[in-house]
Amino acid sequence: MFFFCMIIVQKKMKDVEISVPIVYGNAAFWLGKKASEYQSHKWTVYVRGATNEDLSVVVKRAVFQLHSSFNNPTRIVESAPFELTESGWGEFEIAITLFFHNYVCEKPLNLYHHLKLYPEDESGPMSTKKPVVVESYDEVVFTEPSESFLARVQNHPAVTFPRLPAGFTLPPPVPQDESKRKRGDTKDHPLSQWFLNFSEADELLQLAAARQQVQTHIAKLRRQISLTDGQNQPFKSL
């Protein structure tokens, strides 16, 4: 009986996943009077928790790969907040590689962000006070999380914790010394006033409405098809 339960648990763990919602992008300030030919903007590229929680519970380090024209284009950030500030004039693609703690995942993950300095609306005046901000929302999904991973992140606000299969219990979490560590969350980050809000509610509503329309249309078509079939039937019996 015990072994049978173990097998069921093994099977169900297959469908368990931990997801970490993140937002990554950049904020760029025009330097105005202080701008030079090669340094017209000051920009910060970053990866943050979607609700501004500390990502360092899963992310060990982030590596930002900049354009080769930069000195030491491979910038390694070992602690949260995972960000990088530079000045320049050009827009280019930045490859961000996230390395996770050993108990989380041994494989790194790549993100790609196109650095944006200039506003979409080219006609508007450039401001030194209001930055150009481009952010993307995504979720990092970890499949088949190990028990130590689950134990470590349970109750952590940055992580979407899955529902565990019945009868499964985790050991209590190891208490972390929070006071000694630097704050890794971005709640009071200097750029936080510019961060965008991502709410799934709007998108869900949009999708639900669209699905409703499509389903109605499908039903109508099915009716029409059976009607036409009925009309065609007498001819086919010949």
Partner 1 sequence: MDAKDILGLPKTPLSITQEKKSRPQKDSQRKPDGISREVYALTGGVAPLMPSIDVSQLKRRPPSDEKITWQWLPFTSSARKDNLELYHWVRVVNGVPPTGDYSFAKYNKSVDVIRYTDEEYEKHLTDPKWTKEETDQLFDLCEQFDLRFIIIADRLPTTRTVEELKDRYYSVSLAILVARAPSLGEVPGHPLVKEPYNVTQEIERKRALSMVLSQTKHQERKDTEVLAEAKRIAESRLAAQAAEEPDIPATLDIGPESAERAVGSGDTISPSNVQVHAAAAAPSTSVIADNSSTLASLRMLRVYLRTYALEQMVQAASSSAGLRTIKRVEQTLQDLGVNLKPKVPTKAVCAEHLELRKEILTLLNLQKQLQYKEAEGSSFRDGSYGDMPGSSKRSQRAVDQDRTFVPDSISFGVIPGDRGVKREQKRKGPGRASETPSSPAGAHKRPRKMKASDL
Task: Work out how close the CB of 49 gets to partner 1 at its nearest, in angstroms, rounded to a whole number.
Answer: 14
Nearer to partner 1, 95 or 225 (CB): 225
Q: And the tokens for 199?
A: 């709410």
Q: Which is nearer to partner 1, 183 or 217 (CB)?
A: 217
Q: How far apart are CA 112 and CA 72, in angstroms?
A: 19
Q: Which is nearer to partner 1, 85 or 143 (CB)?
A: 143
Q: For partner 1, give the closer residue by CB, 155 or 237.
A: 237
Q: How far is the CB of 124 from partner 1 (least distance, A)?
A: 23
Contacts from 68-71 at CB under 8 Å and sequence distance 24+?
none
CB of 130 to partner 1, least distance (A): 22
Residue in 28, 199, 44 with CA at minimum distance from that of residue 126: 28
Buried b (16+ CB within 10 A) or exposed e, 130-162: ebbbbbebbebebeebeeebbebbeebebbbee
Q: CA angle, corner 150, sides to 112 and 22, nearest 5?
A: 25
CA neighbor of 141 nearest in space, from 151, 149, 130, 129 = 149
Least distance between partner 1 and beta carbon 225 (Å): 5
CB of 144 to partner 1, least distance (A): 6
Two structure tokens written together for 21: 């919602």
Distance CA(28)–CA(87), nearest Å, equals 9
When the beta carbons of 128 and 146 are compared against partner 1, the nearer one is 146
Side by side, the strands of the sheet bearing 109-114 are 74-77, 59-65, 93-100, 109-114
Q: Which residues pair with 61 in a beta bridge?
A: 99
Using CB under 8 A as the criterion, which residues of the chain lie in contact with partner 1 when the complex forms?
2-4, 6-7, 9-11, 13-14, 19, 21, 100, 105-107, 109, 111, 137-144, 146-148, 198-200, 202-204, 206-211, 213-215, 217-218, 221-222, 224-225, 228-229, 231-232, 235-236, 238
CB of 198 to partner 1, least distance (A): 5
In the complex, the smallest distance separating the C-beta of residue 212 from partner 1, rounded to whole angstroms, is 10
Q: Give whichever of 183 and 203 is closer to partner 1, judged by the CB atom.
A: 203
Residue with Cβ nearer partner 1 (166 or 238): 238
